[in-house]
């Protein structure tokens, strides 16, 4: 076996050009998906206090200008989250043909045609008065989310998003059978080419806190541990991903990302033939941003290191609030 002094691993690290030549993992703009919050009844972007640098956008030229700047950075995919003007107990604003997401999709498609892939988050939490990811009923002295009744609503929302022009539907409720319900609804209506990117492996994580501020989607009672996955479980992710594949998912997702690298690798190893997305969520973003603001960490280097780790773990697509920054840094040359 060849060893020191003949073998000197440092030879492959002696300059940036050499390191770039032999690097095992690289990130491109095509790997990045930009999350965008869109809010009704505003005319100007609103800063999100818990997510410095991130805004809620109105469905008007301000949104289009932002996406045009993103497109020029190299961003080709966005995922949309809606903040409606009203909420109720059946999430009716989520499937309204003139709802916030439906209007936003039409505006984006009118402006960009097929130059940008539009992914729509499909859930009820932003549209429900109670903030839950399904229909709630009162049973045996407590409130519970009714899984099977909720499937009808989720299918209805997904179909309305596809009718508006969404390229990809991304169900995030973690309801059992939701992918099958959506696939059946889409296919029956003729949307056989509309993709499903399923939040297959979505953990009940504390890391969603800033998102719930951004989208006003904190549950009014209880929590989501009855349907989102237990952070103590890894192998359960295989079951969840397999079920979504069998139900018709085209792309899988693990969420959160950099705190669940082991799960990303586990899912990718078991289903290598399926594209895998990882969502670098709001809390993960805000932790880095807060440390950078306080001068405790070099933001650019930290973001690139963490994003590379997510890609190295097995993610093909990375949903990240840093998408525009990363895209610009790639254009300037990754500083590793």
Active site residues: 202, 255
According to DSSP, residue 225 is labeled: T
Q: Is the dihedral of CA 319, 325, 330, 331 positive or negative?
A: positive
Q: Are 196 and 169 in contact (CB under 8 A)?
A: yes
**What's the CA gap between 124 and 39, in Å, rounded?**
15
CA distances from 195 to 15, 121, 250, 281 (A): 43, 12, 6, 22
Q: Is 240 part of any known ligand binding site?
A: yes
**Largest Cα–Cα separation, the chain:** 73
**What's the CA gap between 225 and 64, in Å, rounded?**
37
Q: Are 317 and 278 in contact (CB under 8 A)?
A: yes
**What's the CA gap between 149 and 147, in Å, rounded?**
6
Hey, how many other C-beta atoms are within 10 angstroms of the C-beta on 52?
Answer: 14
Backbone angles phi, psi at 280, to 5 degrees: -80, 100
Q: In 3-state terms, what secondary structure has residue 16?
A: helix
Q: Is 57 part of any known ligand binding site?
A: no
Q: Is 224 part of any known ligand binding site?
A: yes
Q: Is 321 part of any known ligand binding site?
A: yes
Which residues have CB under 8 Å from 265's CB, separation 6+? 313, 314
**What's the CA gap between 253 and 275, in Å, rounded?**
9
Q: Using the CB atoms, write b or e for 292-302: b if 16+ within 10 Å.
A: beeeebebbeb
Which residues have CB under 8 Å from 111's CB, separation 6+? 64, 67, 68
**What's the CA gap between 84 and 87, in Å, rounded?**
7
Q: Is 322 part of any known ligand binding site?
A: no
**What's the CA gap between 42 and 83, in Å, rounded?**
11
Hey, how many other C-beta atoms are within 10 angstroms of the C-beta on 136?
Answer: 23
Annotated binding-site residue numbers? 212, 224, 240, 282, 321
Annotated binding-site residue numbers for 5-aminolevulinate? 212, 224, 282, 321
Annotated binding-site residue numbers for Mg(2+)? 240
């Amino acid at each position: 076996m060849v060893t020191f002094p003949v073998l000197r691993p440092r030879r492959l690290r002696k300059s940036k050009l050499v390191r770039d030549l032999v690097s095992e993992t690289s990130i491109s703009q095509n790997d990045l998906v930009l999350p965008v919050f869109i809010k009704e009844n505003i005319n100007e972007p609103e800063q999100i206090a818990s997510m410095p640098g991130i805004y809620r956008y109105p469905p008007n030229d301000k949104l289009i200008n932002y996406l045009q700047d993103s497109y020029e950075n190299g961003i080709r995919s966005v995922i949309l989250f809606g903040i409606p003007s009203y909420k109720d107990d059946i999430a009716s604003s989520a499937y309204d043909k003139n709802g916030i997401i439906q209007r936003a999709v039409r505006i984006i498609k009118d402006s960009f045609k097929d130059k940008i892939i539009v992914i729509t988050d499909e859930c009820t939490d932003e549209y429900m008065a109670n903030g839950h990811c399904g229909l709630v009923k009162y049973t045996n002295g407590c409130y519970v989310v009714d899984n099977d009744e909720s499937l009808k609503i989720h299918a209805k929302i997904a179909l309305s998003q596809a009718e508006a022009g969404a390229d990809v539907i991304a169900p995030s409720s973690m309801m059992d059978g939701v992918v099958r319900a959506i696939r059946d609804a889409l296919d029956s209506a003729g949307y056989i080419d509309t993709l499903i990117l399923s939040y297959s492996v979505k953990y009940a994580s504390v890391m969603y806190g800033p998102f719930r501020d951004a989208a006003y989607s904190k549950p009014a009672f209880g929590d989501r541990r009855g349907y989102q996955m237990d952070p103590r479980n890894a192998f359960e992710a295989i079951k969840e991903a397999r079920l979504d594949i069998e139900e018709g998912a085209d792309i899988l997702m693990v969420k959160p990302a950099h705190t669940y690298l082991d799960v990303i690798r586990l899912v990718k190893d078991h289903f290598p033939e399926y594209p895998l997305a990882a969502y670098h969520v709001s809390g993960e973003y805000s932790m880095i941003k807060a440390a950078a603001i306080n001068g405790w960490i070099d933001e650019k280097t930290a973001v690139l290191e963490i994003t590379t780790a997510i890609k190295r773990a097995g993610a093909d697509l990375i949903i990240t609030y840093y998408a525009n920054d990363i895209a610009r840094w790639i254009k300037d040359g990754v500083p590793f």
